[in-house]
Structure 1
Amino acid sequence: MLELGQGNGATAPADSDLIKDVSEATFMADVVDASMTVPVIVDFWAPWCGPCKTLGPALEAAVTAAGGAVKMAKINVDENQGIAGQMRVQSIPTVYAFFQGQPIDGFQGALPQSEIEAFVAKVVEAGGGAMPDDGLEGALAAAEEMLEAGDAQDAAETFAAILEQDTESVAAFAGLARANIALGALDQAEAVLNGAPAAFADAPEVEAAHAQLALARQAENAGPVAELRAAVEADPSDHQARLDLAQALHGAGEVEAAVDELLELFRRDREWNDGAAKAQLFTIFEALPANDAVVLNGRRKLSSLIFA
């Protein structure tokens, strides 16, 4: 398992009904009552527990991959010592599976990914369900939803857990890199991309992640937007200031405004600095989905300038 962060200590995934942080006050409703209709896996953990940081994300990914056939409750033993005592939790991580109000299975300590998957599948079967054929696809979709919702830490952990199950998932490699970029862990993102199989080098997902990383590196060194905008207004022919402004705007999340500045720079001098405006536009386009409105409009305007 890749070491990515606080594991169980992170925010719950986007599907808050599937994986929940549970307390003594909600244990009856979220575990006992919920298990009357679908099995519930209970993960007892603590922020200081090293193995918990490995087990938690892997278990969450396996539960997500089950497509709703099982739920998961996460209980911080430091904050819920009463319920941990009642369940006779003597070491962590400790995992129990409940069905129809009763514990039916469990284990202690971190397990290999294959054994985690087997445990979840067994619990699903005990509840009368079946693992979906597209389990990993479901986990990938859930991780993408987490990333889109701003839960980059959870997304990174889920992508990493998916890679434990499928070391050739190009979507998971790219997703893990993008999640680390969102976290500001640019060196980690670069390490992920450098560690991807060579066959993935030309995959659109990986190329997009490389472009996002390049833009994030630029943003680290970008100047204040207000100052750069003032410089451009003072001297519209200052091409370097306009390029710097575009990079700063992109770093500030103003992607469309960045594209507009680059188009203006291209209009003024398309050959300046070895075609820097066009190169920067292509980097932005590559970092975004092909059907993004900014990409579609930007490419159309660029084509108009090229063939004007």
Structure 2
Amino acid sequence: MTEILGSTAPAGDLIKDVTEATFMQDVVEASMQAPVIVDFWAPWCGPCKTLGPMLEAAVTKAKGAATMAKINVDENQRLAQALAQQGLPLQSIPTVVAFVEGRPVDMFQGALPASEIEAFVNKAIEAGGGSADGGLAEALEAAEQMLAEGAVADAAQTFAAILGEDDKSAAAYGGLARAHIALGDLDQAEAVLNGAPAEIADAAEIEAAHAQIALARQAENAGPVGELSAAVEASPDDLQARFDLAQALHAAGDAEAAVDQLLELFRRDREWNDGAAKAQLFTIFDALKPNDPVVLNGRRKLSSMIFA
């Protein structure tokens, strides 16, 4: 993932025991590259035993966007005194200080819930100009760009790598499925979506990919646009022919014309084939981005018909 998501520190370098001798290197100098979360603790401190592992978990989750320095104040009393003289309130522990670009920018004392600890770490990362998600957002953007430019295999590899870092990324599941659709492997696209965790199964990105798979399967059996257009023109009340024309138009890449045909079908008989026109419209809408003009105009026209 380092080539895709940017550089990340090896796991062993994320969390260090720091002494007076290594403080300049592992805290001050290191914070010029990425924020350093410094945990001032002592073996006799009860809250420290709870806080330490929670801090380590939050820093580890950041995947190299921040590191952690653990300073035992009993063993480094001279360092603690020197820092206290510089303004850090180290009279009570645990004390946690975020260093960014060589100086302390934020701190807290005592125990905090895990969510607030994670927020503290993320805030320090953002203060350092980094990304709290370890670069996943940038990787998603890059993968989408690859897909848009036709580098489908590279996009699929990137989406898969993102899922290796975050197995609950609905955007990555949807993107990987769309990559397989572009490769013509609809079964694999469906398998990707079926493998998504239950808690994100209803996410918009996954529903959109499901809709695109449904439309792609229809496209495999779509008839010729010319013949179907002639059939509709010859018999405007042939609703099956109009529905088939809409599918053929969408398969040919003309979503706007497909929506127009389905709206006309709905206008003529909204209950035809158990409401097939409305269902097909929603499938097309789901497959497109919510702000796509085809979606915005189509929904507006459909609503005016429903509530007329």
TM-score by length of 1: 0.58
Aligned twin of 1:254: 254
Post-superposition Cα deviations, 1:78-116, rounded to whole Å, max 9, x if no partner, equal: xxxxxxxxxxxxxxxxxxxxxxxxxxxxxxxxxxxx9xx
SS of 1:290 mapped into structure 2: coil
Gaps of 5+ in 2: 9-59, 68-127
Q: Is the 8 A contact 2:159 2:176 kept in 1?
A: yes
Residue 241 (str. 1) matches residue 213 (str. 2): no
- Output aligned runs, 1:121-270, within 5 Å: 132-134=131-133, 135-270=135-270
Post-superposition Cα deviations, 1:158-203, rounded to whole Å, max 9, x if no partner, equal: 0011111111211111110111112211011001011111111211
SS of 1:193 mapped into structure 2: helix
Of structures 1 and 2, the one with the larger relative CO (CA 8 A, separation 6+) is 1
Q: Is the 8 A contact 1:211 1:283 kept in 2?
A: yes
The alpha-carbon deviation at position 151 of structure 1 amounts to 2.0
Q: Is the 8 A contact 1:143 1:154 kept in 2?
A: yes
Aligned twin of 2:301: 301
- Output aligned runs, 1:112-127, within 5 Å: none
Question: What is the rounded CA distance, in whole Å, between the counterparts of 2:301 and 2:288 in structure 1?
Answer: 17
The alpha-carbon deviation at position 131 of structure 1 amounts to 7.0
Post-superposition Cα deviations, 1:126-157, rounded to whole Å, max 9, x if no partner, equal: xxx99754411110111111112222221111
Aligned twin of 1:19: none
Provide the aligned length of Structure 1 versus Structure 2: 192
Gaps of 5+ in 1: 1-57, 67-113, 122-128
Residue 61 (str. 1) matches residue 4 (str. 2): yes
Aligned twin of 1:275: 275
Identity of aligned residues (%): 72
- Aligned-pair Cα RMSD in Å: 2.3
Q: Is the 8 A contact 1:178 1:189 kept in 2?
A: yes
The alpha-carbon deviation at position 62 of structure 1 amounts to 3.3
Question: What is the rounded CA distance, in whole Å, between the counterparts of 2:295 and 2:303 in structure 1?
Answer: 12
Q: Is the 8 A contact 1:246 1:259 kept in 2?
A: yes
Q: Is the 8 A contact 2:5 2:138 kept in 1?
A: no
Q: Is the 8 A contact 1:60 1:158 kept in 2?
A: no
Question: What is the rounded CA distance, in whole Å, between the counterparts of 2:132 and 2:300 in structure 1?
Answer: 41
SS of 2:150 mapped into structure 1: coil
Question: What is the rounded CA distance, in whole Å, between the counterparts of 1:200 and 1:251 in structure 2?
Answer: 29
Post-superposition Cα deviations, 1:250-290, rounded to whole Å, max 9, x if no partner, equal: 11110000000000100111110001100000111111111
Question: What is the rounded CA distance, in whole Å, between the counterparts of 2:182 and 2:3 in structure 1?
Answer: 21
Larger radius of gyration: 2
Question: What is the rounded CA distance, in whole Å, between the counterparts of 1:150 and 1:257 in structure 2?
Answer: 24
AA of the residue aligned to 2:148: E
Alpha-carbon spacing, 1:231–1:161, altered in 2? closer, same or farther (3 Å): same
SS of 2:290 mapped into structure 1: coil
AA of the residue aligned to 1:281: L
- Output aligned runs, 1:2-13, within 5 Å: none
Q: Is the 8 A contact 1:265 1:277 kept in 2?
A: yes
Q: Is the 8 A contact 1:61 1:139 kept in 2?
A: yes
TM-score by length of 2: 0.58
Aligned twin of 2:92: none
